[in-house]
């Protein structure tokens, strides 16, 4: 990678994290607006937007859910934006490798993180929260989390344009007998958010 590109990338990351420190979530969203050059995987895999935040807020209100548990959230930029923009939503992140995320070398995180084992086989996730996976990338571990989750809402965010990959993809739960699609939304940059509810919820 050319030195200029590296320096520009670090400058952008530093600028966004500074805005997060200041609590300026609207300016953080503005930093991701525009074209694909404004995608920054070290902070968040998608290009977050105010319309995405409003979509999540409105759909969870329909379900009377006020908590989000985000598995594999990384540094939690998307989750931080949601928390700041919608204070009534409580957001917590789950990650592996505490040694990395608490080290001076990691990308700063500004949401609470709970650390779990890699496979998530024994993790009991809060049943009163929606379960969020954004660009998650291990189907075996995902199925472990879903198996242990007793709540009624799963949110999947990922690519649908074939240019990037994640497991599960946003349509993964469509054919599963326990889940049905509640709503979905296309995101800038070839991504999609899909919100599923448990079939026996109502």
Q: What is the pLDDT of residues 99-116, one digit of tens each?
A: 888 888 888 888 889 988
Whether 69 contacts 126, CB under 8 Å: yes
Residues 22-74: pLDDT tens digits?
999 999 999 998 877 778 888 999 999 999 999 999 999 999 999 999 999 99
Q: What does the pLDDT read at residue 4?
A: 47
DSSP state letters, 60-120: HHHTT--EEEEET-TT-HHHHHHHHH-TTSEEEEEES-HHHHTSTTSPP--S-EEE--TT-
Residue 160 exposed, middle or buried by CB count within 10 Å (0-12, 13-18, 19+): middle
Query: In a 3-state reduction of DSSP, which class is residue 2?
Result: coil
Give CA–CA dist 101/129, Å, rounded.
23
Q: What is the pLDDT, as a whole number, of residue 201?
A: 67
Say what the pLDDT of residue 41 is: 87
DSSP string of 28-63, one letter each residue: HHHHT-SSGGG-BTTTBSS---HHHHHHHHHHHHHT
**3-state percent helix, strand, coil for the chain, nearest multiple of 5:** 35, 25, 45
Q: How far apart are CA 168 and CA 196, in angstroms?
A: 13
Reference 68, options 49, 51, 82; nearest CA is 82
Instruction: List the structure tokens of 161.
Output: 């344009």
The predicted structure's pLDDT at residue 11: 86
What's the pLDDT at 118? 64
Residues forming a β-bridge with 55: none
Give the strand order in the sheet containing 130-134: 113-115, 90-95, 67-71, 130-134, 153-159, 191-198, 179-187
Over range 191-201, report the average pLDDT. 93
pLDDT of res. 2: 46
Q: Higher model confidence: residue 3 or residue 201?
A: 201
Domain containing 32 equals: 3-198
Residue 78 burial by CB count (10 A; 0-12/13-18/19+): exposed, middle or buried?
Answer: buried
Q: What pLDDT was estimated at residue 84?
A: 97
DSSP state of 137: B
CB 85 within 8 A of CB 50: yes
Q: How many domains would you assign to the chain?
A: 1
pLDDT in tens, 114-169: 988 766 667 888 999 999 999 999 999 999 999 989 999 999 999 998 889 999 99
Mean pLDDT of 1-16: 73
What is the CATH number for 110?
3.40.50.150
* Residue that wins the pLDDT comparison between 185 and 147: 185
């Amino acid at each position: 990678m050319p030195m200029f590109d590296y320096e520009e990338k670090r400058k952008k990351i530093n600028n966004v994290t500074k805005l997060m420190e200041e609590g300026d979530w609207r300016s953080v969203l503005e930093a991701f607006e525009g074209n694909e050059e404004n995608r920054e995987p070290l902070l968040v895999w998608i290009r977050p937007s105010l319309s995405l935040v409003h979509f999540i807020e409105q759909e969870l209100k329909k379900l009377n859910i006020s908590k989000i548990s985000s598995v594999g959230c990384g540094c939690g930029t998307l989750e931080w934006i949601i928390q700041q923009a919608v204070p009534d939503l409580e957001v917590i992140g789950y990650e592996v490798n505490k040694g990395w995320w608490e080290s001076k070398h990691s990308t700063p995180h500004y949401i609470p993180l709970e650390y779990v084992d890699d496979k998530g086989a024994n993790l009991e996730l809060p049943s009163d929260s929606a379960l969020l996976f954004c660009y998650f990338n291990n189907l075996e571990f995902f199925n472990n989390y879903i198996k242990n989750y007793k709540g009624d809402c799963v949110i999947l965010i990922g690519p649908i344009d074939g240019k990037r990959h994640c497991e599960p993809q946003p349509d993964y739960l469509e054919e599963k007998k326990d889940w049905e699609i509640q709503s979905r939304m296309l995101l800038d940059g070839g991504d999609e958010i899909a919100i599923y509810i448990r079939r026996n919820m109502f």
